[in-house]
Amino acid sequence: MEKKIAIIGCGSMGKMLLEKIINSKIIPEDNLFVANRTLEKIQVLKEKYKNMHICRTNKEAAENSDIIFICVRPSDIKTVLLEIRDVLDNSKHIISLNGSILFEQIETVCKNNKISKVIPSVTAEVNESQTLVCHNSKVTKEDEIVLNKILGTFGKVIELPENEMGMGAELVSCMPGFIAAIFNEIVVVAQEHTKIPEEQITNMLLNTMMGTSKLMLENKLSFEEVIIRVATKGGITEEGIKVIHEKLPEVVKEMFEKTLEKRKLTTENAIKAFNS
């Protein structure tokens, strides 16, 4: 791929993106242009990736690139867009890695540009991200193919309409945290009933979770089908599942209500900050 890529903002997400793109060899290393508020942070990366370009300004990175990944906080997105606006022609593709700012806000600064929003997952670190993406009307099918190829270097790509990105983020971006919290509670309570070491309990749970996922994906099983196969009528598993069916739905309902409300508030605050 001969595209030139800018990464503006080299925090955890920007750094991950940079490393995945370079390690995949999807583009030459010298086609990468990186800018960051703290220059020293990316100068350290230059020691490892000697051929990438360190840019002293966001404008410099954007001017030299076809695809511009903006990996900054919601409160900083407008500032970045204003800094680079003068070098944005219609061919440049802007990618925001923040789901809180809507297309309509970004388009107040970049009216004629191709814009996409991307939400990766922490599981990108092991190339298992289910990365969410949505596009404005200026993005072409060819642009989508190129972006999907880049994002595919660290997992699967799922396209959603903009109004579904919030719930989508709950299911793939927030879910590793939700799953970890649930299984941590299981570990804590299990320890009250056994002398099996905590580390071994954790490994047993994780390997069982991976095995269950593989079983379901390879055999195209639903959750209900797994329950039927494991929970013999009148058996031990059935007793535990009764408790889960009775008590867990309210917890899940409240979890989504709280997180979606917080997401809505975050978006509202981001819009206010952007429009100020």
- The CATH number of whichever domain residue 223 belongs to comes to 1.10.3730.10
Of the residues 137, 160, 183, the one at which a domain ends: 160
pLDDT in tens, the chain (276 residues): 789 999 999 988 999 999 999 999 999 999 999 999 888 788 888 888 999 999 999 999 999 999 999 999 888 899 999 999 999 999 999 999 988 889 999 999 988 899 999 999 999 999 999 999 999 999 999 999 999 999 999 999 999 999 999 999 999 999 999 999 999 999 999 999 999 999 999 999 999 999 999 999 999 999 999 999 999 999 999 999 999 999 999 999 999 999 999 989 988 888 887 787
DSSP structure string for the chain: ----EEEE--SHHHHHHHHHHHHHTSS-GGGEEEE-SSHHHHHHHHHHSTTSEE-SSHHHHHHT-SEEEE-S-HHHHHHHHHHHGGG--TT-EEEE--SSS-HHHHTTT-TTSEEEEEE--GGGGGT-EEEEEEE-TT--HHHHHHHHHHHGGGEEEEE--GGGHHHHHHHHTSHHHHHHHHHHHHHHHHHTT--S-HHHHHHHHHHHHHHHHHHHHHHT--HHHHHHHHS-TTSHHHHHHHHHHHHHHHHHHHHHHHHHHHHHHHHHHHHHHHH-
According to DSSP, the β-strands at 114-119 and 129-135 are: antiparallel
Both 64 and 102 in one domain: the answer is yes
Residue-level pLDDT at 150: 96
Domain boundary among 160, 192, 214: 160
Give the CA distances from residue 264 to residues 135, 148, 259, in Å, rounded to whole numbers and listed in that order.
20, 27, 9
Range of the domain at 184: 175-275
Residue 212 belongs to a domain:
yes
Last residue of a domain, one of 160, 184, 216: 160
Round to whole Å and give the CA distance between 174 and 259. 9
Q: Is the distance from CB of 13 to CB of 75 less than 8 angstroms? A: no
How many structural domains are present in the chain? 2
pTM flag (> 0.85): yes
Q: Per the domain annotation, does 80 fall within a domain?
A: yes
Alpha carbons 25 and 149: distance in angstroms, whole number:
12
**Any domain includes 170:** no
Q: Are residues 40 and 68 in the same domain?
A: yes
Q: Is residue 18 part of a domain?
A: yes
What was the pLDDT predicted at 272?
Answer: 83
Co-location of 15 and 128 in the same domain: yes
In a domain, 239, yes or no: yes
Res 242: pLDDT: 96
In a domain, 95, yes or no: yes
Tell me what pLDDT residue 74 has: 84
Task: Note whether 121 and 199 are same-domain residues.
Answer: no
Same domain, 61 and 196: no
- The confidence score (pLDDT) of residue 56 equals 92
